Amino acid sequence: MTLPLPNLQQLVVFLMLFTRVLGVFVSAPIFGARAIPSRVKIMFTIILAYIFYSLFVGSESFNFQEFTYLNVLMILINELLLGILIGFISLLIFGIVQFCGSIIDVMSGMHMASILDPLTREQQSLLGQFQYILTILLFLVFDGHHYIIHALYYSFKIIPLGAITFLKFSPEAFLKVFSNIFLVGLQLSAPVIAILFLIDFSLGVIAKGVPQMNVFMTGAPLKGLVAFISLFICLIYFGAFFNKIPKLTFDNIIYVLRSL
């Protein structure tokens, strides 16, 4: 078996392809986790880049006439940024879900308690971290990591190597993707938020009608209990809800790539 890298030109092309894949492995969820050693990430990046090179060699995706040092450097930077952009879009849903979990923590009064996230090394809210971990597990269950690799594969068909300049980048496309993902995360937490709002409203009415009652001391444990019960009831629908997330992530990535 001979390696399809017989000359320096093809080696440079492989380096460009490797740079785009590396950008995804740096920023994408699961692939870019700090718990994964850097050597493992680099190894999988090389393997995946070699597979893509074997699939696309000789196609329009690798159509180059000549190389200069400045041209190669600019292409490498653009390819790295494009890979990071693909990974960042796929990471948005996780941040939105964690943010909505933090809103539930604030409304239920559990925001005063926080835990250390070993991946980000930052203090995170309890329910926010719970929803974040649950999202990762369900993302793996529904083959979300396969959709990211699939989107990376299609990125070479939509934007060939060296064709990206970011000069036609449309902020409207990115804002539309962000708004769609934010709406998904809000829908996920909306039932619990609505129930907690009704609890706050009821406590406000009680405080107005019975001023002698200490609503704060009574309502704090009540809201925490209701938040946990409501969240675990909503877990029944998490599977059906997250079944659509990987496909939505893939569609968002392709939509942004077509707007570049």
pLDDT at 84: 92
pLDDT at 114: 63
Q: Which two tokens stand for residue 167?
A: 């000069």
pLDDT at 1: 42
Q: Report d(CA 30, CA 24) in Å as an integer.
A: 11
| Segment 211-249, tens digit of pLDDT | 777 777 777 777 778 887 887 887 777 777 788 888 888
pLDDT at 187: 79
- The DSSP string of 65-97 is S---HHHHHHHHHHHHHHHHHHHHHHHHHHHHH
CA quadruple 237, 243, 248, 253: dihedral sign: positive
pLDDT at 19: 92
Angle formed at CA 27 by CA 40 and CA 100, multiple of 5 degrees: 125
Query: Which mean pLDDT values do the consecutive 10-residue runs of the chain (260 residues) have?
Result: 56 86 88 82 90 74 61 85 90 81 76 61 70 83 89 88 74 82 80 83 79 73 80 78 84 87
CA neighbours within 13 Å on the CB side: how many for 217?
A: 3
pLDDT at 22: 92
Q: Quick one: how many helices (H) and strands (E) in the chain? A: 9, 2
The residue extents of the domains of the chain are 8-259
